[in-house]
Structure 1
Amino acid sequence: MIIDNDLLNKLAYLCRLELPPHERDTMLHDLNAMVDWVNQLDELDVDNNLVLEESSKLESTDLRSDIVCNLLSHKDALALAPSSDSNYFRVPAVKGVTTHTDLSEPN
């Protein structure tokens, strides 16, 4: 797989990046180097069972018990909150977040 300018434009759009013209060549080079490195993983022999045999030696039965306990009651947690209302935590409103995001392709 080779990353060209068209694919770079699509990736930049999906990532919401604005790539200045002087950074495009560097970005193309770096992305293609990453893809080449990942392609080298295809050359590895992963059909042997050595990894499975070695990983079984790491398994242990000396695990702690998973015990459910309440360390902090709801009332105590509300008492520690900067602001609360009845049984709920009050937090500041998130500003600048829209409920609808347009993910259509650019023209």
Structure 2
Amino acid sequence: MIIDNELLNKLAYLCRLELPPHERDTMLHDLNAMVEWVEQLDELNVDNSIALEEASILEPASLRSDVVLNLLSHKQALALAPSSDSNYFRVPSVKGISTTELPEPS
């Protein structure tokens, strides 16, 4: 499958993208490279019998059981945080928005 300008226009429309003319060639090249890579996956042998044979090598007894260790209480965890208030961890703002700028939930 080759992605041409017509298909790129349809994809851009569906994705609500505005592609400037100077970026179209790069986008076409990148999309075609991705499609080529995915098409290479068709060449792989994905016969389930091989995978099932290899999966049977592991026995459940060889896996460790999950054991919870070193539990921290809520208060202890907050004490270890660089910044916290009475109940929550305080973290830096994301994308330049501080929590004081966010609207109050209604």
Aligned partner of 2:39 in structure 1 is 39
User: In the aligned structure 2, how far is the partner of 1:33 from the partner of 1:98?
Assistant: 41
Higher helix share: 2
Q: How far is 1:15 from its partner?
A: 8.7
Normalised by the size of structure 2, how large is the TM-score? 0.57
1:38 Cα offset (Å)? 1.5
Instruction: Identify unmatched segments of 5+ residues in structure 1.
Output: 100-107
- Structure 1 residue 35, shift from structure 2 partner: 0.9
Q: Give, in angstroms, the shift of residue 28 of structure 1.
A: 0.5
C-alpha distance 44-81 of structure 1, shift in aligned 2 (>3 A): closer
Residues 80-101 of structure 1: per-residue CA shift (max 9 Å, x gap)? 22333323333455518989xx
Q: Could you tell me how far apart the structure 2 residues matched to 1:12 and 1:70 are? A: 53
Native 8 Å contact 2:12 2:19 kept in 1 = no
Please tell me the root mean square deviation across aligned C-alpha atoms, in Å.
Answer: 3.7
- How many residue pairs get aligned? The number is 97
TM-score (norm 1): 0.57
Using the alignment, how far apart are the partners of 1:68 and 1:20 within structure 2?
54
Work out whether residues 12 and 19 of structure 1, in 8 Å CA contact, stay in contact via their aligned partners in 2. Answer: no
The corresponding residue for 1:76 is 76
